Amino acid sequence: MSEKSLNLNLRVWRQKNADAPGKFVTYKLDNISPDSSFLEMLDLLNEQLIDSGEEPVAFDHDCREGICGSCSLTINGIPHGKGRMMTTCQLHMRSFENGETITIEPFRAQPFPVIRDLVVNREPFDKIMQAGGFIDQRIGSAQDANALPISKETADKAMDAAACIGCGACVAACPNASAMLFTGAKMSQLNLLPQGQPERYKRAINMVDAMDANGFGNCTNIGECEAACPKGISLDFIAMMNRDYAVAKVKRFFSGAA
Amino acid sequence: MNLDPKIPDGPLEKKWTTAKANYKLVNPANRRKYSVIVVGSGLAGGGAAAALGEQGYNVKCFCFQDSPRRAHSIAAQGGINAAKNYQNDGDSVYRLFYDTIKGGDYRSREGNVYRLAEVSTSIIDQCVAQGVPFAREYGGMLDNRSFGGAQVSRTFYARGQTGQQLLLGVYQSLSRQIGLGQVKMYNRHEMLDVVLVNGVAKGIITRNMVNGKIERWAADAVVIASGGYSTVFFLSTNAAGTNVSAAWRAHKRGAGFANPCFTQIHPTCIPQEGEHQSKLTLMSESLRNDGRVWAPKKKEDCGKNPKDIPEEDRDYFLERKYPSFGNLAPRDISSRAAKEVCDEGRGVGPVVAGERRGVYLDFRDAIQRLGRKTIEARYGNLFDMYENITGENAYERPMRIYPAPHYTMGGLWVDYNLMTSITGLFAAGEANFSDHGANRLGASALMQGLADGFFVLPYTLGNYLGSIPPGEAGKIDINDPAFADAENAVKESVGKLVSIKGKTSPRSLHTALGKIMWNKVGMARSKESLTSAIDEIRALRERFWNDVLIPGGGDELNIELERAGRVADHLEFAELLCFDALDRNESCGGHFRVEHQTEDGEAVRHDDQYANVSVWEFTGVGNKPKKHVEPLNFENIKLAVRSYK
Ligand SMILES: Cc1cc2nc3c(=O)[nH]c(=O)nc-3n(C[C@H](O)[C@H](O)[C@H](O)COP(=O)(O)OP(=O)(O)OC[C@H]3O[C@@H](n4cnc5c(N)ncnc54)[C@H](O)[C@@H]3O)c2cc1C
Ligand code: SF4
Ligand code: FES
């Protein structure tokens, strides 16, 4: 419970639609409780804009507790802002100063075009998933769950990878707009588990190809993605993906397929 | 309204087998001729879309988020129940069935609930095969935890992210079908109406949320899996976009709405801090295993630092009122007790709207007994989350908690086959009313969503499609006047909304509705509070239609238009909820009528009059809805009083 309230200057990216040019517009917003979340602060900005007959700032959000991956926003140049291991919706205003100017932009990455204001199109992530981010298991035909023991270590590691919320901050943080952290996380989750073995190498090739086809750049080991990731997804999963992809290529070479 | 529940004859444990044996089938070669629309991509909708696509039907799936992976199911934390009996602690399908009926305060159908318990085991098998990383023991077997309302350990979990992992499993299956072209996915599309051709559901109307385009979609059957309606209270634990619109529009087209007054308030949420707040965050109920709930005995202590309140001035009210269950009393009972204390003026925390709404959940004794390390290991992530939101350290200062709307048991009425009272229109997941009666047990909603989507609809919908001759399949014409009428109605209402250009934002109207609902239709309801709520809702609805302000137009991405449409539906639906609560002259589960309680404040059910389902028929906005009743027959379970003293 904090008492003092904040007066802020907000530099917000405004863009009417995908084709229109965008620009920063500065708004003054006063009396913000330090206990409100960043998105609640934007709600209040929107209420103020609506009151004065202006169009509110569009942004994506839903769960508002850091799990759905809807919220995006680049805050003062950092995807999801300066909070470590946190999404924008988990960021609270107490980590800002009274009188501060805050710059709010959409996630910037070529594969994620702006739809309006702070809303971007992240469907290329879905495309990568559709290419191989699954285990081909017919619904209703599974064996008893405990018939396949999996060591706690493996299960935990798979869970570490599975924690990705698909927000896209990794892509926005990467100078090459690479989707390696996102793709590596999903691929590793499935490739670590015994259930994922039959399609392991096919999955590696299909997902990496989809990544390239959807305009994501290469990884040059800068590590910005890991720093921006709200779920602490480790670069190790990129290394694992690279290994699986290399093995898959070799296997394909020896099996004679082009 | 035809309310035949179509529960198969025969003994409980044979019903589902019998039903499956009698269902019609569609020849695999013919399946591609049939099309199905699924509204929703959560566990129920996404599961159904993936399963039906895999069976070979042509599926179109719609969601309002930018990806099916973001459906609200993602937010579930605690776990999912299944009668696996992996712990060898005496669990069985029958026991899960029994616990669910009892937990629901004897207001659900035996046949449906038994089927739910029966398919629960296949859910776990399926999820594991798909790669859902459930928690495991060192020996490699699946781990379980126990959850409220049960004496066995039957809850499977994936850290604190069970819903996320289950939904991602569903999303993976769905993605595979999308990649294969069996399912077409429409993100950022909001369903705004159901289309009936000669009284049979044959399609929907949507608004493309990016460019505002209103479109017609035809299919041989329509499934609504759009989630619950807790956001009628504005502040709830649900995602901000959760809404009643899809279900409500179906209701306005003739689908019966069952038990809308059965809503669940969760006792352990982080209290409201101020008027700016947009949602309330749930804290896992497991905290009550070690935390002690208390409030100051004296009003003048409420503003003090809790450290300065001596032991004798603290009221451990749950332990006092329910000595045998204490801090572990069920959700509805604990919630009400906390509200009573705050109503007496003994709440703690910041003053919001003239009142302190919060009680302490104190770990001091547990830390002394077990050491801080143990408490950290058990609840560290929850303490961190609490500190992130409130800025307070709960190791040093007791947490503050308060109840919040969380889940809605009521929903579209469905028969055993999950078909609504409109032929060809199905409802699944939280959007239907079917399995939880008047109160849902923890970890049972995820189970129901996946049961409906993966294991029930693929049979029952196939049976329905099997009744349509292959020659007629997929022959619905979107130029039929029924489609044109529905499209025009949607266009008109969108046009009307953007043209009002009044002075009040949709959000502030939603907040106003939330206040009415929480104060008068929340944890304690009375004839008086409900009657005045109806008047206030009507007045607010009038204000909405005269004074709402939506900047911008209908043919662009317009977040306020989206919000306004949902608020408009909530403003109509809220009235139905009140009528149902007013009509149900008893207290049961999440529905507490102050007129029906014992001397010491316990709920009093009236099984002679209300051991049934109230199903409402729409008769026009502002008119009293028409009530129908589906009796509940208990052939296996004896109705008893729930006691937790
Ligand atoms: C914080 C929290 C924690 C929970 N924890 C647990 C738990 O531990 N265990 C448990 O069993 N249950 C839990 N629950 C309950 C459970 O998560 C939900 O009841 C369940 O996931 C609902 O699933 P669903 O598929 O019915 O709907 P949802 O997952 O809500 O999906 C609804 C779908 O419908 C779509 N939709 C809605 N309206 C429209 C429209 N008009 N047009 C197009 N699309 C539309 C949405 O886009 C979405 O895809 C929890 C709930 C909350 C809020
Ligand atoms: S890897 Fe991290 S940053 Fe990238 S999408 Fe997943 S959660 Fe977001
Ligand atoms: S709104 Fe869901 S993660 Fe931020």
pLDDT at A257: 58
A11 part of a folded domain: yes
Which of B160, B200, B202, B170 lies closest to B63, judged by CA?
A: B170
Q: Is B194 exposed, middle or buried (0-12, 13-18, 19+ CB in 10 A)?
A: buried
Instruction: Please tell me the predicted confidence (pLDDT) of residue B644.
Output: 67
Residues A40 and A100 in one domain: yes
What pLDDT, in 10s, does the model give residues B147-169? 766 788 999 999 889 999 999 99
Is the ipTM beyond the 0.90 threshold? yes
CATH code (residue A220)? 1.10.1060.10
Contacts of A207 (CB under 8 A, 6+ apart): A128, A131, A132, A133, A183, A186, A187, A241
Together in a domain, B197 and B114: yes
Same domain, A14 and A111: yes
Q: Compute CA distances B283 → B105, B441, B543, whole Å.
A: 24, 16, 36
Q: Are residues A16 and A39 in the same domain?
A: yes
Contact (CB, 8 A) for B422 and B412 = no
Judge whether B61 lies within some domain: yes
Residue B234 with chain A: CB contacts under 8 Å: none
The answer to whether B557 contacts A119, with C-beta atoms less than 8 Å apart, is yes
- Which residues constitute the domain of residue A32? 6-116
- Cβ <8 Å between A68 and B74: yes
Q: Quick one: B118 and B221 in the same domain?
A: yes
Same domain, B255 and B170: yes
Stretches in chain B below the pLDDT threshold 50: none
Catalytic-labelled residue, pool B253, B331, B440, B566 = B331
Is residue B502, in this structure, part of any structural domain at all?
Answer: yes
> Is residue A143 in some structural domain?
no
CATH number at residue A112: 3.10.20.30
Predicted pLDDT at B543: 98
| Ligand 2 and A165: CB distance under 6 A | yes
Residue ranges of the alpha helices (H) in B305-444? 317-321, 331-343, 364-370, 372-390
Using CB atoms, which residue from B72, B125, B350 is nearest to A143? B125
Which ligand lies nearest to the CA atom of residue A165 in the structure? Answer: 2
Residue A114 sits at the chain B interface (C-beta within 8 Å): no
**DSSP classification of residue B423:** B
Nearest of B198, B202, B171, B169 to residue B185 by alpha carbon: B171
Question: Which atom of ligand 2 lies nearest, measured to the CA of A165?
Answer: 7
B356-396 pLDDT, tens digit each: 999 999 999 999 999 999 898 888 888 988 999 999 999 99
- The answer to whether the Cα torsion of A232, A235, A236, A242 is positive or negative is positive
Residues of B in contact with A40 (CB under 8 A): 276-278
Please, which residues 50-89 of chain A have a Cβ atom closer than 8 Å to chain B?
50-51, 53-56, 58-65, 67-70, 86
Nearest to B63 by CA among B161, B199, B174: B174
User: Which CATH number does the domain housing residue B105 bear?
Assistant: 3.50.50.60
- Give contacts of A 134-173 with B, CB under 8 A: 134-140, 142-146, 148-152, 155-156, 158-159, 162-163, 165-166
B644 within domain boundaries: no
Q: Distance, CA B435 to ligand 3 centroid (Å)?
A: 29
- Closest to A38 (Cα-Cα) out of B77, B216, B389: B389
* A78 and A105 together in one domain: yes
- For ligand 2, atom 6, the nearest C-alpha belongs to A164
d(CA A44, CA B78): 32
Same domain, A84 and A163: no
Do residues B295 and B219 both lie within one domain? no
Domain of B490 in residue numbering reads as 1-262+409-631
Which ligand ends up closest to the CA of A71?
3
Q: Does A100 touch chain B (CB under 8 A)?
A: no
Give catalytic status of residue B331 as yes or no: yes
Segment A129-139 mean pLDDT: 96
Q: Extract the tokens encoding B184.
A: 């077409």
B523 in Cβ contact with B403 (< 8 Å): yes
* B643 vs B641: CA distance, rounded Å: 6
Residue B176 C-alpha, separation from nearest chain A C-alpha, in angstroms? 5
Residues of B in contact with A64 (CB under 8 A): 239-240, 278-279
Q: Please name which ligand lies nearest the alpha carbon of A87.
A: 3
- How many whole angstroms separate alpha carbon B330 and alpha carbon B439? 10
C-alpha span between B569 and B571 (Å, rounded): 5
**pLDDT score for B547:** 98
Same domain for A82 and A128: no
- Counting residues of chain A whose pLDDT is more than 90, the rounded percentage is 94
Considering Cα of B196, then B212, then B232, then B106, what sign does the dihedral take? positive
Any idea which residue has 């018939």 for tokens?
A: A147
Q: Is the residue at B639 inside a domain?
A: no
Task: Tell me what pLDDT residue B430 has.
Answer: 98
On whether residue A177 sits in a domain, the answer given is yes
Per-residue pLDDT at B240 = 96
Interval A98-124: pLDDT, tens: 999 999 999 999 999 999 999 999 999
Is A79 part of a structural domain of the chain? Answer: yes
Residues B98 and B140 in one domain: yes
Contact B58, B121 (CB under 8 A): no
DSSP-derived letter for residue B54 is: H
Does pLDDT of A2 surpass 80? no
Residue A1 — very low, low, confident or very high, per pLDDT cuts 50/70/90? very low
Q: Last residue of a domain, which of B363, B381, B404?
A: B404
Pocket test for ligand 1, best of B61, B62, B63 (most atoms within 8 A of CB): B63
Last residue within a domain, chosen from A90, A116, A142? A116
Residue B157: closest CA among chain A residues belongs to which residue?
A: A159
The residue among B389, B404, B419 that closes a domain is B404
* Contact with chain A for residue B134, Cβ under 8 A: yes
The answer to whether A25 touches A12, Cβ cutoff 8 Å, is: yes
Looking at residue B204, its pLDDT comes to: 98
Same domain, A180 and A204: yes
The one-character DSSP state at B504 is B
Query: Which residues in B lie closer than 8 A to residue A33 (C-beta atoms)?
Result: 273-274, 276
**A145: in domain:** no
Give the minimum alpha-carbon distance from A225 to chain B in angstroms, rounded to a whole number: 21
- Residue A221 resides in a domain: yes
Reference B284, options B167, B395, B163; nearest CA is: B163
If you average pLDDT over every residue of chain B, what do you get? Answer: 95
Tell me the two tokens of residue A252: 């394909």
Q: How far apart are CA A34 and CA B266, in angstroms?
A: 26
Residue B408 CA to residue B433 CA, distance in Å, equals: 8
Question: Does B230 fall in a domain?
Answer: yes
B291 and B385 both lie in a single domain: yes
Torsion over CA: B541, B547, B551, B553 (sign): positive
Same domain, A170 and A97: no
Domains in chain A: how many in total? Answer: 2
Asked, for residue A72, whether it belongs to a domain, the answer is yes
Contact A115 B559 (CB under 8 A): no
The minimal CB distance from B122 to the residues A67, A123, A140 is found for A140
> How far apart (Å, rounded) are the C-alpha atoms in residues B62 and B41?
7
Task: Tell me whether residues A142 and B126 touch, CB distance under 8 A.
Answer: yes
Q: How far apart are CA B584 and CA B593, in angstroms?
A: 8
For residues A55 and A180, membership in a common domain is answered with: no
Sequence letter at residue B512: A
Tokens of A235: 């670069």
> CB within 8 A of B343, min separation 6: which ones?
none
Last residue of a domain, one of B404, B433, B457: B404
Count of domains for chain B: 2
Residues near ligand 1 with C-beta < 6 Å?
A: B 39-45, 62-65, 71-73, 75-80, 162-163, 190-191, 225-228, 237-238, 243, 245-246, 282, 406-407, 429-431, 443-446, 449
B352–A contact, CB cutoff 8 A: no
* pLDDT computed for residue A110 by the predictor: 97
* Residues on chain B touching A51 (C-beta within 8 angstroms): 505
CB B488 within 8 A of CB B50: no
Q: Do A152 and B140 touch (CB under 8 A)?
A: yes
What's phi and psi for A131, nearest 5 deg?
-75, -25
- For ligand 2, atom 8, which residue shows the shortest CA distance? A167
B409/B432 Cα distance (integer angstroms) = 8
Same domain, B396 and B431: no
In DSSP terms, which residues pair with B204 in a beta bridge? B194, B217
Residues A126 and A249 both lie in one domain? yes
For A31-36, what is the mean pLDDT?
94
What CA–CA distance (Å, rounded) separates B487 from B292?
A: 55
Asked if A94 has any chain B CB less than 8 Å from its own CB, the reply is: yes
pLDDT, averaged across chain A: 96
Question: Which ligand has the shortest distance to the CA of A180?
Answer: 2
Same domain, A170 and A213: yes
* Domain identity same for B234 and B276: no
| pLDDT given for residue B78 in this prediction | 85
Q: Which residue of A has its CA nearest to B50?
A: A139
